[in-house]
């Protein structure tokens, strides 16, 4: 049985999308959204030690993000969609990164079971394309409210891929989030080199 996982690096340095094979028969289907050999082939190391898993359910049009974690401590993520469909978006907000200011995206759904890896320090957002869209995350760190920050997903300078036929539904916190340029001017963005060091340290005993 072919178990090869396809993967490619995204336009944001260090971020990857993985597409596993899906095996279907008259009972249903089986797949493995995360497979360590493919992750090692892509990044040269196994997945980070998982400290927390998250589960969200969203209405069509919901936009969550752009969220990021103060570094330190910094958090890496591995994300897939278990129900519905979503545009999952990675935004490079790491000052000094060769891809700073860029974003990339992939449609995640339980037809392809694509998954995305988000390195430490990047921003994460997604747009739910269907009602009852379920997103599942594995994270390298535990949630601590004082470390969790947000940028505006509606920032015209970012021009994130929010479909025009959707009415964006955002939380009060996300609606009030500042634009990227403002936070950069205030010195509030993660530093690329620091993020790289934090990420490398995740695998140290």
67 is annotated as an active-site residue: yes
From the list 67, 78, 117, 124, the catalytic residue is 67
The single residue of 68, 117, 137, 192 carrying the catalytic annotation is 137
124 tagged catalytic: no
Q: What is the 3-state secondary structure (H, E, C) of 139-156?
A: ECCCCCHHHEEECCCCCC
User: Which positions are annotated as active-site residues?
Assistant: 67, 137
């Amino acid at each position: 049985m072919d178990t090869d996982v396809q993967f490619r690096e995204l336009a944001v340095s260090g971020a990857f999308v993985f597409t596993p094979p899906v095996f279907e028969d008259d009972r249903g289907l089986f797949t493995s959204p995360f497979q360590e050999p493919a992750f090692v082939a892509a990044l040269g190391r196994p997945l980070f030690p998982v400290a927390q898993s998250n589960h969200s359910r969203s209405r069509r049009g919901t936009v969550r993000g752009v969220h990021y974690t103060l570094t330190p401590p910094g958090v890496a993520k591995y994300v897939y969609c278990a129900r519905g469909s979503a545009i999952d978006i990675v935004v490079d907000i790491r000052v000094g990164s060769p891809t700073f200011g860029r974003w990339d995206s992939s449609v995640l759904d339980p037809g392809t079971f694509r998954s995305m890896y988000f390195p430490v320090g990047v921003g994460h957002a997604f747009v739910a394309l269907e009602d009852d869209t379920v997103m599942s995350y594995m994270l390298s760190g535990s949630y601590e409210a004082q470390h969790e920050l947000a940028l505006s997903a509606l920032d015209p300078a970012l021009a994130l891929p929010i479909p025009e036929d959707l009415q964006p539904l955002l939380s009060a916190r996300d609606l009030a989030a500042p634009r990227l340029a403002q936070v950069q001017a205030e010195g509030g963005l993660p530093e690329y080199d620091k993020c790289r060091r934090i990420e490398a340290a995740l695998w140290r005993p």
